[in-house]
A and B are shown apart, each in its own frame.
Chain A
Amino acid sequence: MSETTHPEADALIAHLQERFPGAVQPSPAPFTGLIVAREHLVDVATHLRDELGYRYLASVTGVDYPQGMDGLAPRFEVVYHLCQASGAPLTLHVHASREDPAVPSLAPLFPSAVVQEREAWDLLGIRFEGHPDLRRILLWEGFDGHPLRKDWHEVYYEEDHKPFESRYPAGEPVQAESRTPLGNNLRYPEGWSFEDWRPMVDVWGYQAHDAVAQEDNPDFPLERVVLNMGPHHPSTHGVLRLLVTLEGETIRRLEPVVGFLHRCHDKIGERNTWLGNMPYTDRLDYVCSMSNNLGYAIAVEKLLGVEVPPRAEYIRVIMAEFTRFMNHIIDIGFTGNDLGIYFTAMLMGMEERELILDLFERVSGSRMMCNYMRFGGVAHDMDEEAVALARELAFERLPRAVDKVDAYFTDNEIFRARSVGVGVLPPEMAVAYGCTGPLLRGSGVPYDLRRADPYSVYDQFDFDVVVGQNGDVYDRYLVRLGEMRQSLRILQQALDRLPDGPVMAGKKQALVKVPAGESYGRIEAPKGELAYYVVSDGGTNPYRYHVRAPSFVNLGVLGEICKGHLIGDVVIILASVDITLGEVDR
């Protein structure tokens, strides 16, 4: 069963074929969406954006088809997902040749493509013509090869797909390091020598900043300084590097450099089995593991065509909303930490988080890496005590916690002085840069996937979408606070109406065979739109597994919203964007 991308899909295809003859054709089953010819991509995209309202480019991904698939030729493919203000996304496929893959860049039209196209260049080697700054983003300049290509094997490569033959039935334990010539996860090209190596020019990325720093300001020549924040920094929420060009204390240019936690999820995801990827999704946004599981389960269930029993759906919603609450309260806590409220707010948030983690541990077995959702339901049922604990949390403890956070922050003059008017993100820029989550809603755009493109059983609950007005840090804080209250509303309704019944459709299967096709499973994760783009060739392992992470795309707008602010504001703006490096770098 393949997803229908759009209710008026046929009408849209007909309209586009009339408008751009020869440019557009529908994808052959089991793929969805349209195939757009390379030469017409920019025209079609402009038309979709300006005349048909597809203003939000959710995801840009590359896929490598060295043997083609289902009748189509061998190629590199770039897949775009475009969305309107509500409804499912429209999928566009663009083919590129295998010898020299090049595709016109959509970055001038949709700035959200800037970072995502850089990632496709980095990992797959697809060139985007017209991209303003096509450099590697997750790996470093000078890295040998494009790792996500099917013929590029990592140093510890054993087989294409797990499970490996070497583990059973003749599985003598062998440490991976001992199989490699260097005894390590390292490999140097043939003929390469230590002595002759010189670092690439500007491997640390200072050139662009030096250029800005040396621009003459004719009215008032000031000395400009290029400052490096991170990757080891107490306030960057992980290993993020910010390159900042300062004029005095004012920021002239800011560039986030990521990739310091790139753990090769996409490549490992292709080796894993379908179910084996579930514990890996826990480690993406490691603060919100239940939500990650949910997104992956939804993406694969679209291909499998299973229907989830109602009790499992309710349990999923309960877990997702507890996760949302937990994420927002500790984000507010860490914002306080970055402001200089040295630990008080963080400890308040962590205390509530510990109580929620108690529930997660009781239900799934682990505090953080829950590995709880399965294809067709959830792994274990919630017993009476777990439901009682959840009720205690949702009805008694957490409403008091929200009131406490409200009393602590909302009217605090110092907090307001530091956050009102800081980091303003205009709504058009937010949509153009592909921002989602509280970052988008703080600017006044009421786009929440639980309403715009409902999944699971969210359409059965009564809740509001919380929206800010000015798009500054204070408004995003208010949006998060409001979302915490709305989460409690959903939780109270869900716990009151929790139905009985099984929690799994059919029997649990270890080695799942997923029918061929592609699927884009998206959820409203606490940080924004978390989506999984999976392609299956009918086997037990994914053919392509890509995570569209909200923090990664949201980070693209950081440079814009920090311009003109003081260096001390960067930290609070970053805290209000709310990133987790596990997601950003995957």
Chain B
Amino acid sequence: MPVRKRQLPEIPPELVGTVHLTPLDQIYNWARKRSLWPIFFGLACCAIEMIAAAAGRFDLSRFGMEIMRASPRQGDLMMVTGTVTKKMAPQVVRLYNQMAEPKYVLAMGACAISGGPFKEGYNVVSGVDKLIPVDIYVPGCPPRPEALLNGLLSLHARMERESIRDLRWYRKGEVEEGIPVPDLGPDLIDWRLAERLEPTVRQAEE
């Protein structure tokens, strides 16, 4: 519920959603963005640049992000750093489902954005946004640690503009189901395609 201070004027109804009124939003966003704990989800080469960003020269702890937990239960930001392969895809989705809200996803590097230079590979998923929703993309191969920090600061800026009223994890009545975990069959089985495809597959059999 939004907190209204008495001395503020009445807001016209059409502007209610768009105006940042409340210090509560500001405090909430400031506290969240200054202690965003990343999940150390290093897959490939970009992970080394992520570690370099956390190391001595480009200190991530200046932003409160030095706590790189491995457990998704304790993380807020999943930095997908590196190529997501089909063999790893079930694990990526499982970890995303296990994260507690509020959660964000940052796709670091060309491979996480779109498969990158390995896009044509038979074991490569063309970008992690085929599996989970991504909030911000940091291009580069690998992006410099400063580029990653720039991405994080952009994410902070976006978080600052969020309002408690609009966040999906606080909406009443909506329970996030979690993304169905893909399986490994003749190729990666993405269960979200099942409804779309079953009719055509049956048709091919007939």
Q: How far is the CA of A264 from the CA of B123 in the complex (A)?
A: 7
Whether A194 pairs with B194 at a CB distance below 8 angstroms is: yes
Per-residue contact bits, chain A 350-366, to B (CB 8 Å; 1 contact, 0 not):
11011000000000000
**Is B204 positioned at the interface, with any CB of A under 8 Å from its CB?**
yes
Nearest-neighbour CB distance to chain B for A125, whole angstroms, equals 14
Whether A261 pairs with B43 at a CB distance below 8 angstroms is: yes
**Which stretch (B3-11, B168-176, B179-187) binds chain A?**
B179-187
Whether A262 pairs with B123 at a CB distance below 8 angstroms is: yes
Of B44, B202, B204, the contact of A286 (CB 8 Å cutoff): B44
Q: Are A186 and B43 also in contact (CB < 8 A) when A140-B87, A351-B56 are?
A: no
**Is A144 positioned at the interface, with any CB of B under 8 Å from its CB?**
yes
Per-residue contact bits, chain B 84-96, to A (CB 8 Å; 1 contact, 0 not):
0101100100010
Q: How far is the CA of A368 from the CA of B49 in the complex (A)?
A: 9
Q: How far is the CA of A185 from the CA of B111 in the complex (A)?
A: 14
**Is B201 positioned at the interface, with any CB of A under 8 Å from its CB?**
yes
**Is A174 positioned at the interface, with any CB of B under 8 Å from its CB?**
no
How many of chain A's residues touch chain B, expressed as a range? 35 or more
**Is A259 positioned at the interface, with any CB of B under 8 Å from its CB?**
yes
Q: How far is the CA of A87 from the CA of B42 in the complex (A)?
A: 39
Of B49, B95, B189, the contact of A232 (CB 8 Å cutoff): B95
Per-residue contact bits, chain A 176-216, to B (CB 8 Å; 1 contact, 0 not):
11000010111111111111010100010000000000000
List A contacts of B43 (CB < 8 A).
Answer: 238-239, 260-261
Q: How far is the CA of A485 from the CA of B115 in the complex (A)?
A: 40
Most A CB contacts (10 A, CB to CB) among B87, B188, B194, B205 go to: B87
Of A186, A264, A279, A354, the contact of B188 (CB 8 Å cutoff): A186
Whether B48 pairs with A194 at a CB distance below 8 angstroms is: no
Q: How far is the CA of A194 from the CA of B118 in the complex (A)?
A: 27
Q: Are A232 and B205 also in contact (CB < 8 A) when A144-B186, A238-B42, A261-B82 are?
A: no
**Is B149 positioned at the interface, with any CB of A under 8 Å from its CB?**
no
**Is B124 positioned at the interface, with any CB of A under 8 Å from its CB?**
yes
Nearest-neighbour CB distance to chain B for A50, whole angstroms, equals 39
How many of chain B's residues touch chain A, expressed as a range? 35 or more
Q: Which secondary structure dominates chain A's binding surface?
A: loop
B77-125 with Cβ < 8 A to chain A: 82-83, 85, 87-88, 91, 95, 115, 117-125
**Is A283 positioned at the interface, with any CB of B under 8 Å from its CB?**
yes
Whether B121 pairs with A267 at a CB distance below 8 angstroms is: yes
**Is B32 positioned at the interface, with any CB of A under 8 Å from its CB?**
no
B40-79 with Cβ < 8 A to chain A: 40-45, 47-49, 51-52, 55-57, 68, 70
Q: How far is the CA of A193 from the CA of B91 in the complex (A)?
A: 23
Whether A582 pairs with B44 at a CB distance below 8 angstroms is: yes
Of B87, B183, B191, the contact of A259 (CB 8 Å cutoff): B87
List A contacts of B119 (CB < 8 A).
Answer: 156, 176, 185
Most A CB contacts (10 A, CB to CB) among B44, B188, B197 go to: B44
Per-residue contact bits, chain A 223-235, to B (CB 8 Å; 1 contact, 0 not):
0000000011110
Of B45, B47, B184, the contact of A203 (CB 8 Å cutoff): B184
Q: How far is the CA of A62 from the CA of B202 in the complex (A)?
A: 38
Whether A189 pairs with B186 at a CB distance below 8 angstroms is: yes
Whether B189 pairs with A194 at a CB distance below 8 angstroms is: yes
Whether A154 pairs with B190 at a CB distance below 8 angstroms is: no
Whether B85 pairs with A184 at a CB distance below 8 angstroms is: no
Of chain B, the residue at the smallest CB distance from A182 is B193
Q: How far is the CA of A232 from the CA of B90 in the complex (A)?
A: 11
Whether A232 pairs with B91 at a CB distance below 8 angstroms is: yes
Q: Are A195 and B198 also in contact (CB < 8 A) when A186-B187, A367-B144 are?
A: yes
List B contacts of A143 (CB < 8 A).
Answer: 184, 186-187
List A contacts of B68 (CB < 8 A).
Answer: 234
Of chain B, the residue at the smallest CB distance from A152 is B122
Nearest-neighbour CB distance to chain A for B91, whole angstroms, equals 6
Nearest-neighbour CB distance to chain A for B50, whole angstroms, equals 12
List B contacts of A347 (CB < 8 A).
Answer: 55-56
Whether A186 pairs with B118 at a CB distance below 8 angstroms is: no
**Is B29 positioned at the interface, with any CB of A under 8 Å from its CB?**
no
Nearest-neighbour CB distance to chain B for A161, whole angstroms, equals 13
List B contacts of A197 (CB < 8 A).
Answer: 183, 185, 189
Between-chain CB contacts (< 8 Å), 23 pairs = A140-B184, A177-B126, A184-B126, A185-B115, A185-B125, A185-B126, A188-B186, A188-B197, A188-B201, A193-B201, A195-B194, A195-B198, A203-B184, A238-B43, A260-B87, A261-B83, A262-B87, A263-B124, A264-B124, A267-B121, A268-B120, A280-B117, A368-B49
Q: Knowing that A185-B124, A267-B121 touch, tell me 17 more A-B residue pairs with CB under 8 angstroms.
A: A138-B123, A144-B187, A154-B121, A188-B187, A189-B186, A197-B189, A234-B40, A234-B68, A234-B70, A238-B42, A238-B43, A259-B85, A264-B121, A346-B55, A351-B57, A354-B55, A369-B141
B residues at A contact (CB < 8 Å)? 40-45, 47-49, 51-52, 55-57, 68, 70, 82-83, 85, 87-88, 91, 95, 115, 117-126, 130, 141-142, 144, 183-191, 193-194, 197-198, 201-202, 204-205
